[in-house]
Amino acid sequence: MDGPIRALRVAYWVGAVVDAVAGVQMLSPRLTAFGMGLGDFRPGPDYVYAMGMGAALMFGWTALLLWADRAPMERRDVLALTVVPVIAGLALNEVVAARSGFLSLPAVAPIWALQLMLAVLFLTAWRRANRQAAAGARTAG
């Protein structure tokens, strides 16, 4: 397995694991409260419903990343789509939550660090794969 394909596969699997863990956390208000530093957190049915919707999407994205791993070069653009709008959208949502006072900056900072690391991993793997695909097209043409 060459470097760009290995990088794609690592990115797909890291993303899939992170998304699966996030989906499980979303289904458990207790885990969410612990992870976000929310001491006396008692969400209502509206929150539980919204997080259930989010968890379904998170598990769907987990499956999408695992599907992309089955044809890593051909499906490399899944990584770019994972960064924008998914990771960027989640980070923006956390900015709104921190600005509103719902989440503290110390609680959000590790999430932003993880999102930044994922974005760098995904975009680096995607760029390397694009370079290899372009080189292969030049050679074939």
Q: How does pLDDT run across 115-128, given as a tens digit for each residue?
A: 999 999 999 999 99
Place of tokens 């503290």: 104
Residue ranges of alpha helices (H) inside 39-104 are 45-69, 77-81, 88-100
Q: What is the pLDDT of residue 141?
A: 63
Q: What torsion, rounded to 10 degrees, do the Cα atoms 61, 92, 23, 78 define? A: 10
Q: How does pLDDT run across 33-88, given as a tens digit for each residue?
A: 998 888 888 999 999 999 999 999 999 999 999 999 999 999 999 999 999 999 99
Reply yes or no on whether the pLDDT at 140 is more than 80.
no
Return the half-sphere exposure (C-beta side, CA atoms, 13 A cut-off) of residue 49: 3
